[in-house]
């Protein structure tokens, strides 16, 4: 199929504000694609070139793409640069300079989806000293086969700035509509997506085998599974209501969640909560897995913690220094870590996610040989809220963040924030009522001491129903000088000219951002608010830290409603 058809679809999607219309447009289009085409279109709609756990990077700087545009169009670099200043989007510049004249003398072969994808993958493989030129050459040849509207999207794909407002769940719904019947029938697609977060692959299975093919998709070693998440309560007593009887109470570590995959071949891969491959950052853990996990293959989960000299846990920020590409060996000794294992999803090719937690813990105990950097999470079975409180306080004394209360007979619910796990953190037990993970959607220029930078941020909660980010508070407190200095670095890459269409706010910010950056804040009280799009406002919000979370994993409108207006 010609890429032109996809470009026209993208034009339509971009103009469409209603979620239902987006789904209908997408599902109608996906239905008629071949098995190979459908996966490519799904990836491109999501602004990617592969599944979310595969880091396929094109590595283009805006400057390089603008130069390529000048080469492909014959328009001078100076003119291209000045158009960029006026239009502010390289895609729009491409559309303008490469609007194909109707009377080309030599007919140009049009670009197919297959050729575009093959070209992009080729670009991602280019490395070495002349890589910038070699990548540009491929891009110029692709642009040479495009008309204006196609160029707009090829350039946005190259720069990673395709923002069609399509989230993974929109694709899940659209696939259900296209291949099963309606959005309501999405359970099977959703289940498959949680154990196999590769919507391109799921789409091609649906295309080739229909819904029956989905049941064969299970957790596989080497491919990450969406991680199970914990619910929260505002009062310790609520735990008893949600989970009557005996429960497992486990230390809540403030580190980095990791899913460890040990393959039959002996290869070990570590995935973060965002499903990024973080194996190279932890050679010490890879070595420990090889010697301390007594099974030929498995998927286990735990939390990586940085340890101080006295063996007490160090702050999450210290651990994050391990997020590096260079001098890893130095950091292995500078910041020693320990892996606290708490769950198992697969052992020796058998998927055990559907088994009760007590059973999974037995498997885990049987395969883990504690020692070195490998330990089992500390836990106890109890059935009394006072006992839980005492245990919680002893965990705080040990330097941990709190506890996670787990249902003994609960299964591992991939990608689900359910009542089988409930978190209880120290922030909840203090004077301030709660912490929230909010998404930065805008900023206000600073005054006085903060002049020249940002003075406050506009933050939102996520409404999973409408898939929109709704304003919730203006955040100025708790932003230390160090945080303020770093704000531009963290936020400016996401700056957009207008309020994005998946953002709603009655409060007008000076600057808008695509909803990507998540930060943890505390607050004293939730009140009703006519000016915030969420309908609620948080009083006395205070910045705590940036979070390595997806925006769609932030605190939801439903959670805010459940916490209630005080």
DSSP three-state, residue 228: coil
Q: For ligand AMP, what does the binding mask look like between residues 254 and 283, x meaning CB under 6 A? A: ---x---------------x----------
d(CA 94, CA 398): 58
404 binds ligand AMP (CB under 6 A): yes
Q: Which of 67, 152, 226, 252 is catalytic?
A: 252
Contact flag: residue 380 with ligand AMP (CB under 6 A): no
Burial of 451 (0-12, 13-18, 19+ CB in 10 A): exposed
DSSP strand pairing (468-475 vs 503-504): parallel
Q: Which is nearer to ligand AMP, 158 or 305 (CB)?
A: 305
Burial of 397 (0-12, 13-18, 19+ CB in 10 A): exposed
Which residues, numbered 91-130, are part of the site for ligand AMP (CB under 6 A)? none
Q: State in angstroms the smallest separation of the CB of 303 from ligand AMP.
A: 4
> Which residue, 211 or 380, is less far from ligand AMP as judged by CB?
380
| DSSP bridge partners of 445 | 454
Q: Is 252 an active-site residue?
A: yes
In the complex, the smallest distance separating the C-beta of residue 302 from ligand AMP, rounded to whole angstroms, is 8
- CB nearer to ligand AMP: pick between 68 and 344: 344
Task: Please pick, from the candidates 157, 377, 470, 503, the single residue that binds ligand AMP as defined by CB under 6 A.
Answer: 377
Least Cα distance to 473 among 501, 499, 447, 435 occurs for 435
Beta strands 525-528; 518-523: pairing state: unpaired
Min dist CB 557 to ligand AMP, Å, is 17
Would you count residue 253 as binding ligand AMP (CB under 6 A)? yes
| Distance separating alpha carbons of residues 163 and 25, to the nearest angstrom | 16
In contact, 384 and 373? CB cutoff 8 Å: no
Q: Residue 472 interacts with ligand AMP (CB under 6 A)?
A: no
Using CB positions, name the residue nearest to ligand AMP. Answer: 257
Paired with 66 in beta bridges are none
Tell me if 428 contacts ligand AMP by CB under 6 A. Answer: no
Q: Using alpha carbons only, what angle is made at residue 501 by residues 498 and 506, rounded to the nearest 5 degrees?
A: 75
Residues 423, 501, 545, 561: which binds ligand AMP (CB under 6 A)?
A: 423
Sign of CA dihedral 42, 44, 47, 48: positive
Looking at the Cβ atoms of 71 and 423, the one nearer to ligand AMP is 423
Q: Which residue in this structure is represented by tokens 């200095």?
A: 485
Q: Which is nearer to ligand AMP, 173 or 401 (CB)?
A: 401
Q: Give the nearer residue to ligand AMP in terms of CB position, either 190 or 301.
A: 301
Catalytic residues, by residue number, are 252
Positions touching ligand AMP (CB under 6 A) are 229-230, 250-253, 257, 273, 303, 342, 377, 404, 423
């Amino acid at each position: 199929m010609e890429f032109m058809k996809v470009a026209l679809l993208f034009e339509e999607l971009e103009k469409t504000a209603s979620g239902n219309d987006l789904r209908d447009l997408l599902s109608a289009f996906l239905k008629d694609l071949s098995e190979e085409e459908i996966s490519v279109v799904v990836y491109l709609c999501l602004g990617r070139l592969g599944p979310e756990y595969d880091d396929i990077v094109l590595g283009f700087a805006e400057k390089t793409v603008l130069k390529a545009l000048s080469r492909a169009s014959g328009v001078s670099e100076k003119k291209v640069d000045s158009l960029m200043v006026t239009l502010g989007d390289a895609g729009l510049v491409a559309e303008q300079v490469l609007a194909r004249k109707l009377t080309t003398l030599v007919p140009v072969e049009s670009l197919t989806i297959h050729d575009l994808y093959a070209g992009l993958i080729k670009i991602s493989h280019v490395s070495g000293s002349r890589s910038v030129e070699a990548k540009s050459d491929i891009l110029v040849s692709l642009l040479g086969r495009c008309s204006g509207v196609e160029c707009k999207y090829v350039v946005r794909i190259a720069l990673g700035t395709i923002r069609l407002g399509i989230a993974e769940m929109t694709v899940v719904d659209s696939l259900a509509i296209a291949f099963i019947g309606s959005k309501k029938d999405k359970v099977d697609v959703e289940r498959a997506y949680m154990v196999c977060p590769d919507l391109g692959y799921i789409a091609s299975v649906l295309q080739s085998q229909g819904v029956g093919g989905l049941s064969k998709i299970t957790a596989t070693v080497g491919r990450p599974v969406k991680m199970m998440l914990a619910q929260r309560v505002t009062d310790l007593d609520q735990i008893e209501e949600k989970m009557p009887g005996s429960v497992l109470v486990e230390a809540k570590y403030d580190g980095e969640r990791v899913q460890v995959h040990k393959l039959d071949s002996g290869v070990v891969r570590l995935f973060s909560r965002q499903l990024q491959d973080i194996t190279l950052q932890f050679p010490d853990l890879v070595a420990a897995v090889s010697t301390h996990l007594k099974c030929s293959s498995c998927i286990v989960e735990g939390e990586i913690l940085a340890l101080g000299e006295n063996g007490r846990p160090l702050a999450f920020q210290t651990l994050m220094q391990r997020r590096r590409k260079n001098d890893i060996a130095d950091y292995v000794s500078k910041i020693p870590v320990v892996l606290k294992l708490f769950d198992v999803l697969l052992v020796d090719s058998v998927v055990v996610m559907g088994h009760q937690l007590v059973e999974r813990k037995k498997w885990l105990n049987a395969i883990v040989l504690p020692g070195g950097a490998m330990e089992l999470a500390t836990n106890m079975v109890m059935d009394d809220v006072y006992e839980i409180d005492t245990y919680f306080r002893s965990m705080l004394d040990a330097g941990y963040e709190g506890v996670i209360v787990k249902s003994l007979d609960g299964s591992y619910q991939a990608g689900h924030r359910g009542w089988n796990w409930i978190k209880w953190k120290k922030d909840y037990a203090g004077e301030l009522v709660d912490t929230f993970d909010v998404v930065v959607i805008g900023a206000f220029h600073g005054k006085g001491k903060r002049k020249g930078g940002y003075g406050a941020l506009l933050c939102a909660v996520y409404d999973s129903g409408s898939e929109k980010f709704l304003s919730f508070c203006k955040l100025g407190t708790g932003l230390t000088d160090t945080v303020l200095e770093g704000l531009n670095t963290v936020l400016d890459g996401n700056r957009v000219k207008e309020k994005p269409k998946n953002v709603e706010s009655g409060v007008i910010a000076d600057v808008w951002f695509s909803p990507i950056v998540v930060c943890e804040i505390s607050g004293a009280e939730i009140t009703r608010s006519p000016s915030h799009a969420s309908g609620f406002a948080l009083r006395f919000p205070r910045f705590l830290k940036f979070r390595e979370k997806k925006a769609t994993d932030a605190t939801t409108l439903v959670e805010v409603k459940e916490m209630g207006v005080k």
